Structure 1
Amino acid sequence: MTEPAGLSVEVSVISSDAAIITVSGELDVDTGLVLQHQLAGQVVHGRRHLVLDLAEVPFMDSSGLGVIIRAINEVRSIDGSVSLAAPSQVVRRLLDLTGVSMSCRIFDSADAACEALLGQGGETVNTTTGKAAR
């Protein structure tokens, strides 16, 4: 699937059950489906803990919000979690007004979200050897 102009979604696997999804561009009715497919793919591949890095998302509408809510509900059904990292002021306001910010953890950076997540006793994967370590 090709990504709509102006949207970029990159996935970094940080452990056997966790990934960072970095989103860049406007998250709206035209781009939300791409993110939804990426998130669903991560869950299918066993990632129960997702960090959405929103630092490069200047705008999000209700469609983008719906994608995030769907992801939160899906991973919760498998005892997982979604953390949001570095939302812009505009995006953070939408998250606050809709109550989504009360449904998941929000961090100032993706690094802070990963530290909190991996500090929960999850295993990390050595990117050099590809072997899991605790």
Structure 2
Amino acid sequence: MDFSTENVDTDIAVVRGDGRLNMVSAPQLRETVLAALDAGRRRIVVDLSNTSFMDSSGLGALIGCLKSARQADGDLRIAAPNEQLRMVLKLSNVDRVLRSYDSADEAYRD
């Protein structure tokens, strides 16, 4: 899974991935989010619209990224998870901590 970052504003970055968010790609997500935070982006949106699958490693990466963003006085939100991703978030109760939005645009406008 490759990740790209789009800088939307001086403090907002949208991180997009295409593929499976699992134990192989989870470290890449962490690195990408940390790089955005290091570049001064404090509001991070992880766009999951092209993420077909997520396992517990991917879930752990999202939680770790949320923690890193909050430690940097920022926030992390997720956008456009598919039904499988929503189920993983709900079953793990992470949906209570990491709210999802229908689109990346909606996530950083709220």
Q: TM-score, normalised by structure 2?
A: 0.93
CA distance in structure 2 between the partners assigned to 1:108 and 1:65 by the alignment: 18
Query: Is 1:98 the equivalent of 2:78?
Result: no
- SS of 1:39's partner is helix
Q: In angstroms, what is the RMSD of aligned CA positions?
A: 1.1
- SS of 1:19's partner is strand
1:37, CA displacement in angstroms?
0.8
1:104, CA displacement in angstroms?
2.3
1:114, CA displacement in angstroms?
2.7
What's the counterpart of residue 129 of structure 1?
none
Gaps of at least 5 residues in structure 1 are 1-6, 117-134
Query: Is 1:28 the equivalent of 2:22?
Result: yes
- SS of 1:59's partner is strand
The percentage of counterpart residues that share the same residue type is 33
Larger radius of gyration: 1
The structure with the largest helix share of the pair is 2
1:8, CA displacement in angstroms?
2.2
User: Which structure is higher in RCO with an 8 Å CA cutoff and minimum separation 6?
Assistant: 2
Q: How big is each residue's C-alpha offset from its partner over 1:32-91, in whole Å with a ceiling of 9 and x where there is no partner?
A: 111111111111111111001001111111111111000111111222111110001001
Is the CA contact (8 Å cut-off) linking 2:3 and 2:17 kept in structure 1?
Answer: yes
Gaps of at least 5 residues in structure 2 are none
Runs of 4+ residues deviating >4 angstroms: none
Q: TM-score, normalised by structure 1?
A: 0.78
